[in-house]
Amino acid sequence: MFANFRQAMAWLHTWFGLVLGFVLMAAFFFGALSVFDREIDRWTVPTTRIAPQPMPSFEQVLRPAFERMHPTPEAIDAMRSRVDGAMPQRFDTVVNWSAYTTHRDPVLELYAGYEVPNAKDPEEAIWAYDTIDPRNGKALPDDQLKIGSGFFYPMHYSLTLDWKNLGIWIVGFSALMMLAALVSGVIMHRKLLREFFTFRPGKARLRSVLDLHNLTGVVALPFHFFFAFTGLVIFASTYYFPVGQTQLHGLHELHEQVEAQETGLPHDRAGVPAGLASVDAMVAEAQRRWAADGKAGDVGFLMLQHVGDANGYVSVYRAGTDRIALVGDGIHFKASTGELIRVDPPATPTGRVSEFLTGLHLQHFRHWLLRWFYMLGGLAGAVCIATGFVFFVEKRKRQHAQRGSQGARIVDALAVTTVTGMVLATLGILVANRLLPENLPARGDWERYVFWCTWALALLHAGWRSAPVAQGLANPAWREQCWAIATLALAAVALNGISTGDYLWRTIATGYWPVAGIDLFLLCSAAVACLTARALKRRASAAQSRIAGMEMARV
Amino acid sequence: MSNTLVVPYPSTARLRVVSRIAAAVLGGYVFAWGTVAAVTSLLSAADMEFHDAEFLGAMAGLLAYLAAFLGTVATRRLALAWLVLLGAGALMTAIGSFVQSLLT
């Protein structure tokens, strides 16, 4: 089919890059936004605009909050089909309580799992979730959509298509094709080093688009390769190759038994009620031990297993803010006495590689400059894919126009939707977040609808305005959607100030960067969109007058 | 290069493209699954901790998938690619189960 290997790679790069580029664009763009997911949460849930807090006292804050929790009626309904006989309405046996925070979280997320007496799978628990203010334990409205960590972040890895994990599979396959596109791209262009330094903005249109595609692809090549690969590794054993849960389930079980014996952490309840010693004292002891190892002592994750049972234990994990590797350094205590059961041993060499790779992708560490580089790397990936679309269209549209083919026109309309349309949808949900009434029932669902509707409108608009592409001209939708981006971005900043009083000058004056940073980023986006729209306008007028000139000459 | 493929080609050529993509995607997956199963089980047999073995198995599987995918797209002998991917995939999967039966 192909004369040589390079031709095969070019074919692969072109066609798989085109089809899966639409997915990759979303993965890169929402991945870049997820770098600041907690900050976006602050912008979108104004009641939580406070400084990050450490893990609070268990006895004073967490325990009363945990004891208040109970599965929602929706969770109970959802569980109904996985139970033999009647569904219990109360759940009193706590499998575990846990609390999770990071150095960027002013709010604390609580999770509680309860035993379901007649569940078909006796291991399955029913879950309750809560978000509290760690300063006083007051419950915060948990039904408000945390748009950063609860919507943009899942968009990044699953497109929020939860049915049968379809989204995770689509994104995973696209990540594999990203790797294939990078390898094939390198094989197609052997003059890698030269392309690193080549950008000819003034040259012919096609050449400068291709330069930018190569530049953003090559400059960030290690970044792109690394993120696509580690993203796959993070999900591989759970979703893509669940070998340990299926074919090699026996080996996995064997390991669990050995591990339970080695660690001394009971797998099951004893069935004997028991009290709870001071958890704060256990946390203090864990911090003393970390400090003795020269490690920062913030608690990231606290878990009580088999609550109220003689087999109960408390696990304290460190927040890995001081190193790249995603480490827990877990320390475990007997719940009833506070006696130390186990200190997790240092990871094996393989374990350290795994912790490093996942840590580098998920970035729990505290390093703001690196955090910005992640964001820029993600946006460079988005630019690389966007210029790939533009190159595909520019290369073909005149040919297609002569043949009367609609191919370039369709691809171009889809590219408009994926590039500017996606930004519009993102701005749409932010604007909706500030416009919808505060106590609207199912407010989060409405916000999501606005997101998808804005995106659908962008698609309709791009299709409706696409006719010039079939004549070898540019689609004016690019330009018009740039203006829409500028308008919505400015509107979002203004609405944030009007609805919360947190005007940009105030947030800057008080140094509240989570909100000030997002407002500034929105203003920059508006400026870039304006400049782009004006440049496109100039180019379109030049093309118009050239055609007019040609027609004049013919007359 | 890719321009030649924009021209509509006859149905047998189109069928070959579909077969090639199917071999790369599905055959590649079978091959990758086999790699994961074989590497995970063999490393476990060599006394490595299970989750470490699982992690290295997954890494090997992903790289195997990538290599198989690129190779299958480029190969001149598509039938051979199908044979190798499915055959080696099945063989390595069987090795995984066999090693597990020895250990458990």
Per-residue model confidence as pLDDT tens digits over B66-101? 999 999 998 889 999 999 999 999 999 999 999 999
pLDDT for residue A121 is more than 50: yes
Give the pLDDT confidence of A329-338 residue by residue, as tens digits. Answer: 899 999 999 9
Query: Domain check: are A96 and A232 in the same one?
Result: no
For position A193, what pLDDT does the model report? 57
Query: Domain check: are A223 and A173 in the same one?
Result: yes
Distance CA A341, CA A322 (A): 26
- Average of per-residue pLDDT values in chain A: 90
Distance from the A251 Cα atom to the nearest Cα atom in chain B, whole angstroms: 6
Average pLDDT estimate for A150-157: 96
Query: Domain check: are A271 and A210 in the same one?
Result: no
Distance from the B32 Cα atom to the nearest Cα atom in chain A, whole angstroms: 8
- pTM for this predicted structure: 0.90
Which are the contacts of A387, defined by CB distance < 8 A and separation ≥ 6? A209, A210, A212, A213, A216
Residue B51 lies in a domain: yes
Which are the contacts of B36, defined by CB distance < 8 A and separation ≥ 6? A236, A241, A243, B57, B58, B60, B61, B96
Inter-chain residue contact B61 with A241, CB threshold 8 Å: yes
- Lowest average pLDDT, out of A138-147, A185-194, A238-247, A370-379, goes to A185-194
Residue A270 lies in a domain: yes
Write the residue in B2, B17, B59 that is nearest to A14 by C-beta: B2
Residue A371 lies in a domain: yes
Query: Between chain A and chain B, how many beta carbons pairs sit less than 8 Å apart?
Result: 118
Distance from the B61 Cα atom to the nearest Cα atom in chain A, whole angstroms: 8
Residue B90 lies in a domain: yes
Inter-chain residue contact A248 with B96, CB threshold 8 Å: yes
Residue A76 lies in a domain: yes
Query: Domain check: are A319 and A382 in the same one?
Result: no
Residue B15 lies in a domain: no
Give the pLDDT confidence of A79-114 residue by residue, as tens digits. Answer: 888 888 888 888 889 999 999 998 899 999 999 999
Query: Domain check: are A157 and A253 in the same one?
Result: yes
Query: Domain check: are A252 and A279 in the same one?
Result: no
Query: Domain check: are A202 and A323 in the same one?
Result: no
pLDDT for residue A209 is more than 90: no
For position A241, what pLDDT does the model report? 96
Query: Domain check: are A27 and A170 in the same one?
Result: yes
Question: What are the helix (H) ranges across B9-77?
Answer: 11-22, 28-45, 50-74
Residue A535 lies in a domain: no
What domain count does chain A have? 2
Inter-chain residue contact A233 with B1, CB threshold 8 Å: no
Residue A25 lies in a domain: yes
Distance from the B101 Cα atom to the nearest Cα atom in chain A, whole angstroms: 8
For position A10, what pLDDT does the model report? 87
Inter-chain residue contact A1 with B36, CB threshold 8 Å: no
In terms of Cα–Cα distance, which of A379, A428, A430 is closest to A147?
A430
Which are the contacts of A407, defined by CB distance < 8 A and separation ≥ 6? A396, A400, B6
Query: Domain check: are A201 and A253 in the same one?
Result: yes
Distance CA B40, CA B96 (A): 8
* Structural domain that includes position A85: 51-141+262-350
- Average of per-residue pLDDT values in chain B: 90
Residue B66 lies in a domain: yes
In terms of Cα–Cα distance, which of A64, A44, A116 is closest to A444?
A44
Instruction: Report chain B residues whose CB lies below 8 A from the CB of A255.
Output: 44, 49-51
For position A409, what pLDDT does the model report? 93
**Residue listed under structure tokens 């993600």:** A378
Confidence grade of residue A547 (pLDDT, cut at 50, 70, 90): confident
Query: Domain check: are A165 and A115 in the same one?
Result: no
Residue A513 lies in a domain: no
* Structural domain that includes position B57: 21-103
Instruction: Report chain B residues whose CB lies below 8 A from the CB of A399.
Output: 6
Inter-chain residue contact A237 with B55, CB threshold 8 Å: yes
Q: Does B46 touch chain A (CB under 8 A)?
A: no
CA closest to A239 among chain B residues: B58
Distance CA B75, CA B7 (A): 22
What domain count does chain B have? 1
Query: Domain check: are A313 and A173 in the same one?
Result: no
Judge whether B86 and B30 are in contact, CB under 8 Å: yes
- Lowest average pLDDT, out of A35-49, A166-180, A471-485, A532-546, goes to A532-546
